[in-house]
Chains A and B, each alone.
Chain A
Amino acid sequence: MAYEELVRRYQDVAVRTAHVIAPNGDAEDACQEAFVKAHAALGRFRPGSPFRPWLLRIVANEARNRRRSAMRRTGLVLRAAEDRPSGDAAPSPESAVLAGESRAGLLAAINGLRDEDREVIGARYFLDLSEAEAAEALGIPRGTVKSRLSRALGRLRAQLDDGNPRGVTHG
């Protein structure tokens, strides 16, 4: 079944997208539902458009539904697997400069941002979506991606400068 190819091709980025949108939600369930809905919605797909951001928009919507259903924000955290991935080389001079703030601290600051800030940062930096893809996936104009990202980074910098990323839990 060719659609299975599609699912396998995009399931990783779909799960990550769902996790960025709703870290406390059920990313797997959201993605499964999104793939089913995408299949049913193929007829509304614009000719010539890239498939990935269109799919991710459906994924994002499903994840948001689950975020709203969660009714609470506890657990809305992105966990750092470890401060440094195994096998990493010794810290470079650049890394030494960055060492003032740990990854965990940065992650906690991101988790302290409001949803739309975290989403746009996640789309651009964690999912590596282009501006156009992020716009499609998040359902906002491309210009809004730019302005929202700029404001989100500003707020993130402010939090980091305060040295108080709201103490959001992370593991």
Chain B
Amino acid sequence: MADRLGPGVSGTVAGGLEARLADLGGAIAWPAAPDLAVRVSHRLTAGSVPTRPDRGVWGTWGAWSGRPLRRSLLAAAALLLVIVAVAVAAGLLLPGLRIITLPPGATLPPVASQLPPGAASDGTLLGRRLGLGTATDLAGAEQLAGFAPLLPATPDVGPPDGVFVSAGRLGLVWRATRDLPETEVPGVGLVVTEFGGLIDEGWYEKLLFAGATTVEPVRVGGLDGYWVTGEPHALFYRDAEGRTVEETRRMVGDVLIWRQGDLTLRIESSLGQEATIALAETFRTGG
């Protein structure tokens, strides 16, 4: 039998039971699929559990959730998550990183490709257009993000032209120069994002909008990392309070992501893999 059945299969077993089953699949009155996206989104945003006004099966679940057994199971599940996080840390994966491959066709908000006059020379404006958060400086970033930024220590890359913080996430932007070729966003040569958090505080995963997207495990100064090229992708991560945060900003170039100490770092550039890894290996506190 073919791995995936289909109309062609019907033809090969003409008159057989399999052909009749394949035919039957198209004649079944399936329940109409409502647009669940909004409802699911609302639940995720609200963080609420109930699904419908009528209790239904969920009502039973809800009643059960208050029982000691349920609480014990929840505690066990929480413990399991910690174990998984530790196991991940011991393996090839970056702590908490998850990669998901999706069929092509999904869309993300477009990157800011149309910039106002003068933006290309204004790092702060560049960063604002990229949706990196609130503009600050390096000293302010350490206060707001709660950790000391790691910066590239190489003469080819000076201090960032823009520094931003959003929900504990640090964003650094460099204008395009001779040493930092322009990314998909005019005027932008390099974007670095840094996330805080310990391995037992959360996890991260990428949503790769498939097609030509590739993910290659790499080494960054002896640390595990991933080199992601191809189609744009979204980033999800879980914050220290257990909430899943979605970053819908498109990446502006090829991506290197790696873990260094308690931080996860991500570089977006057009430098190519070798040069990006070389740059990543220079990152240290204070640049």
B41→A19 contact, CB < 8 A: no
Chain B residues within 8 Å of A153, by CB: 17-18
Contact between B205 and A42 (Cβ–Cβ < 8 Å)? yes
Contact status A7-B21, CB under 8 Å: no
- B107 contacts partner chain A, Cβ-Cβ < 8 Å: yes
- Interface: A39 (CB within 8 A): yes
Using A2-B108, A48-B101 as known contacts, say yes or no to A79 and B29 having CB atoms under 8 A apart.
Answer: yes
Helix, strand, loop or mixed for chain A's interface? helix
Q: Are A35 and B40 in contact (CB under 8 A)?
A: yes
Q: Are B29 and A81 in contact (CB under 8 A)?
A: yes
B21 near A125 with CB under 8 A, answer yes
With a cutoff of 8 Å between Cβ atoms, the chain A residues found around residue B24 in the complex are 80, 103, 106-107, 110, 125-126
Contacts of B22 in A (CB 8 A): 125
How many residues on A have C-beta within 8 angstroms of the other chain's C-beta atoms? 71
A79 neighbours in B (Cβ, 8 Å): 28-29
Interface residue B128 (Cβ < 8 Å from any Cβ of A): no
Question: Within A7-49, which residues are at the interface with B (CB < 8 Å)?
Answer: 7-9, 11-12, 14-16, 19, 25-29, 31-33, 35-36, 39-40, 42-45, 47-49
Q: Chain A: residues with CB nearer than 8 A to chain B?
A: 1-9, 11-12, 14-16, 19, 25-29, 31-33, 35-36, 39-40, 42-45, 47-52, 65-66, 69, 78-85, 94, 97-98, 101, 103, 106-107, 110, 121, 124-132, 153, 156-157, 160, 171
Q: Chain B interface (Cβ within 8 Å of chain A)?
A: 3-6, 14-15, 17-41, 43-44, 51-52, 56-58, 60, 81, 84, 93, 96-103, 105-108, 203-205, 207, 215, 234, 236, 238, 244, 246, 248
